Structure 1
């Protein structure tokens, strides 16, 4: 099953559990630090320049943004975490909103965790990794902004992340990604399509 990523459309933004679309079908959520490039990644995967709003100001995404692919399939842009300049009460609101989504959303079938390839596996990244394991969510890691480093640095970062994940008992796919150089797009598209296909089959009665 290959999803029609290029047909993706903005569905809605939600600031509370009550605002979320109907909890049916299958969703894949993108999460990561506020400067990891989630919006740019979604745009690259869907081959649309302005599908997800991008900003040079970290922490700009304060709501959960839902994008419809086809039928009952959606991509989700979660608020970026770890933006130190945001007021404490705003950070708390973001955290509560993300927790509401991650804990209660039955349609969620996988998390794409973005990390800047130059600064992977921060403390808050590990929190998300542990969270995904606790809630038995499929996890796939994108080492973003690969165009900012040399090929040697890419390989070292990929090896380091893969090794540390295995040492801590986590089994997740990890790949190099660059939205600007279009590196790794097909690979993550295939991962999302596989998750969605499996989730929809498992949700069918009988």
Structure 2
């Protein structure tokens, strides 16, 4: 385990605040990494598995329940992970979808503390329209991106690795070393060390640079 990984204790993550708009977010702190993904991609389950707290991020059999920007403090002051609203669920009213889009854009464009994005995709259904939108934004801005291919337990190892390698080749042509990818299973607790390691790099190394 690297020094960076040993500093952050994701098990100590605790709820900070929920924000409906950018001006309701906590003061820009040292560093935060935001989790984004389509509804039902397994974003909340990934956060709960990462932190070993099954109740930290809201999970539901009804997609689209995460309607606010939720901030979680870690054990270092000013270091946070963020749960962004899930997108793409058909039953969410159009007005709410428009609201989400507006304030997600504002968060991405103006949040100084944002040091990276974790894009959560169901490994069986990757690269949907919302995924492509965020990838293109990261390509344009140079924001570091970590792709979390969830529900890897739904595939055998061969197809899962094939999907990972295909996306890796495709996205590295566009984003170079700004993108990293991994498979993940909340059910089997697979991929957790890799996720913690990448988050630690983004939160501490870039956070240290910005605070220098």
Q: TM-score, normalised by structure 1?
A: 0.95
Correspondence for 1:201: 208
Q: CA deviation at 1:85?
A: 2.1
2:18 corresponds to 1:17: no
Of 161, 177, 185, which residue of structure 2 is paired with 1:178? 185
Cα distance per residue 1:64-123 (max 9 Å; x no partner): 000000211000000011112212111101111111111110000000001000001112
Aligned pairs for 1:28-67 (under 5 A) are 28-67=33-72
2:88 corresponds to 1:75: no
Is contact 2:41-2:122 (8 Å) kept?
Answer: yes
Aligned length: 204
CA distance in 2, matches of 1:57, 1:22: 31
CA distance in 2, matches of 1:126, 1:94: 17
Task: Answer 1 or 2: which has greater helix percent.
Answer: 2
Correspondence for 1:112: 118
Q: CA deviation at 1:136?
A: 2.0
CA distance in 2, matches of 1:9, 1:72: 13
Structure 1 residue runs of 4+, over 4 Å off?
none
Query: What is the alpha-carbon root mean square deviation over aligned residues?
Result: 1.1
Of 136, 145, 150, which residue of structure 2 is paired with 1:139? 145
Correspondence for 2:93: 87
Say which SS state the counterpart of residue 49 (structure 1) adopts: coil
CA distance in 1, matches of 2:151, 2:124: 8
Of 32, 44, 47, which residue of structure 2 is paired with 1:27? 32
Say which SS state the counterpart of residue 170 (structure 1) adopts: helix
CA distance in 2, matches of 1:164, 1:122: 14
CA distance in 1, matches of 2:95, 2:211: 41
Q: CA deviation at 1:198?
A: 1.5
Q: Tell which deviates more after alignment, 51-60 or 104-113.
A: 51-60
CA distance in 1, matches of 2:49, 2:81: 13
Q: TM-score, normalised by structure 2?
A: 0.93
Say which SS state the counterpart of residue 36 (structure 2) adopts: strand
